[in-house]
Chains A and B, each alone.
Chain A
Amino acid sequence: MSNETSKTMPSTRLRQTSAGEVTVDIRTPDLEINFGPQHPATHGVMRVLMRTDGELVTGAQPHLGYLHRCAEKIGENVEWLQYLPYTDRYDYLASMNNNLGYSLAVEALLGIEIPRRATLIRIICAELNRIGSHLVAFGTYGLDIGAFTPFLYCFREREWMMALFEKICGARLTYSYIRIGGVFNDAPPGWFEEVARFCDVFDEKWKEYVDLLLVNQIYVKRTAKVGVISREMALDFGLTGTMLRGSGIDWDLRRDMPYMCYGEIWRDGAFKIPVARGEMGELGDCWDRSWVRVMEMIESIKIVRWCLDHMVDGPVIGELPKTLKVPAGEAYVGIENPRGELGHYVVSDGGKVSIRTRVRGPSFCNLAVLEDTLPGALVGDAVAIIGSTDIVVGETDR
């Protein structure tokens, strides 16, 4: 272009060629935008430093740590049983599952048997909590991209789920109900019947979410072919849970590495593992991930039903000393949380306090993929992509 320029126009962007033609250079310098930390679509306090060229994202750098509460350090300073309430606080939308993961890890070191009734109650609570967590993920995802109403429908069912938990343990969000050795107390009279009623009602209600949001054309246009994560990328970044199944990889710890009595439930054919097929766009896009979440809720209902049908009588917690001493050793236990594999790596030297309590939060690992999926997307789609990873900042930062 410089060869043709005969004279420079007053504005540096305008140039006139020898033929008298005026050209305009509309390139703009890349703009750095702070997305967050107080942005509603980050679901907490997370900051993404985005570099944009007009409407196009050219670079993204997530900054974490705004909600870092030193959970792992606390684990080295309190007794085994005292740590349990802290597990509630990392993924606060799936506290039951966190309690379960930590309890299973400590039990792996203790080598104790859990009463059958406690195991079944644990599964019911974990699966109900999975439904609640996916309802928030799905509802707020709609909210992120501009659909307000489905969110209210999702929270209607979640309210009932939380009321159920309130009846069994007294808390609505941070339960500390699943304890090392079993569960805190037995279900109150009529609780199982109410869970069965919840299942029946939910079986009808989930169709509303599909009609309202999942197959809604506006929603499909916003999410299909957006934020595609290929199989190779998913494996390379160590994604787990819905993110992995959303990329078309058939993997679920409940079936493939069964813990508690999930193996038995699977062999009974009570539930299936929904795996995305790229129906609306490309395999591994945002729509696939939300589809997996909705389908998983239905499977969770089936698991809950199986447990209700096979419920037995008996104790709900084993005999444990008040001050727990855990045998020396180390164990890693990963369970299928709503967001992926929640791993607890615990090390004991035989004392009252752990040497190391490592929490492998699924959100933390799933978030790393943003550095690769955001560049090339439009700024408007950035919210859709971040929302579809379904992060809980309490867990990324721990």
Chain B
Amino acid sequence: MDFQGIFDRLTAIRAPGLVRADEPRKPDPKDKKDKGRAGDPFVLVEPGQLASFVRACRDDDRLHFELLVDLTATDPSKDAADLWINVQLLSLKFRHRLAIKALLPKSAASLPSLVPVYRASQWHERECAEMFGITFVGHPDPRNILLPDDWVGYPLRKDYEFPKEYHGISCE
């Protein structure tokens, strides 16, 4: 199924939390400031309902997304109010992919964990939590995964300040 087909199906089954589709477009020739958007289409989803949304994607027999390939977050800029949660789903049966994005306010960066739906997201969520300071409510094992347990700050946030030293080791 192509992206339009997937989106129509999601609308038809009233997938919880679906906001809209975002497709790449060419720059507007009349508007010089408009740069357009390149790359892949994705669907925008309410972060609070992301878990039930992916469950609907997995269980629907025409979408059949049995694999969660990737879950990550993005901090678009220092001044942005929202973080992005990016999820990649893959259907082996129908050979299609779906990119999902959820805008999560930095002031309340918390959303339900996806682990009950896909165990695959367990380690990805741990990585997101330590790198972006996102809380996944209901995560079975919320420890740091790549960073030491006593690490201060969230390294992949754009306002992160590099530490001057770590346990007496100078980093300058």
Interface residues of A (CB under 8 A from B): 64-65, 68, 70, 72-73, 76, 108-111, 235-238, 240, 249, 251, 256-257, 326-332, 334, 341, 343, 345, 347-350, 355-356, 358, 360, 364-365, 367-368, 397-398
Contact = CB atoms under 8 A, between A and B. Distances in A.
6 contacts: A237-B119, A238-B68, A238-B119, A332-B40, A347-B76, A398-B146
B38 interface: yes
Nearest to A368: B123
Contacts of A332: 40, 70, 86, 88, 97, 99
Contacts of A330: 39-40, 42
Given A65-B146, A70-B155, A73-B155, A111 B76 contact: no
A238 B36 contact: no
A368 B148 contact: no
B17 to A, nearest CB: 20
Given A332-B99, A358-B72, A368-B119, A345 B86 contact: yes
A365 B120 contact: yes
Q: Is the interface of A mostly helix, strand, loop or mixed?
A: mixed
A256 B91 CA distance: 11
Interface residues of B, number: 41
A80 B35 CA distance: 19
B156 interface: yes
Nearest to B130: A65
Contacts of B103: none
B22 to A, nearest CB: 10
Contacts of B52: none
Contacts of B95: 256-257
Contacts of B118: 236, 238
Nearest to B148: A65
A249 B72 contact: no
A365 B123 contact: yes
Nearest to A364: B123
A259 to B, nearest CB: 12
B146 A327 contact: no
Contacts of A73: 155-156
B67 interface: yes
Contacts of B70: 332, 343, 345, 358, 360
A347 B74 contact: yes
Contact of A328 (B36, B90, B119, B148): B36
Contacts of A356: 74-76
Contacts of A334: 69, 88, 90, 97
A226 B70 CA distance: 28
A329 B120 contact: no
A349 B118 CA distance: 31
A396 B41 CA distance: 28
**Among B67, B92, B99: residue with most chain A CB under 10 A:** B67
A327 B122 CA distance: 33
B77 interface: yes
Given A327-B35, A334-B88, A349-B76, 6 more contacts: A65-B145, A65-B148, A72-B156, A236-B119, A238-B118, A332-B40
Nearest to A328: B35
Contacts of A109: 38-39
Interface string B69-90: 1101011110000000010101
A345 B37 contact: no
Contacts of B123: 364-365, 367-368
Nearest to B25: A329
A355 to B, nearest CB: 6
A331 B24 CA distance: 10
Given A68-B147, A251-B92, A329-B39, A355 B69 contact: no
Contact of B97 (A72, A236, A257, A327): A257
Given A236-B120, A331-B39, A341 B69 contact: yes
B38 A343 contact: no
Contacts of B46: none
A343 B97 CA distance: 12
B156 A65 contact: no
**Among B123, B124, B148: residue with most chain A CB under 10 A:** B123
Contact of A329 (B38, B74, B155): B38
A329 B37 contact: yes
A397 B120 contact: no
A45 to B, nearest CB: 13
Contact of B120 (A65, A347, A349, A368): A368
Nearest to A110: B38
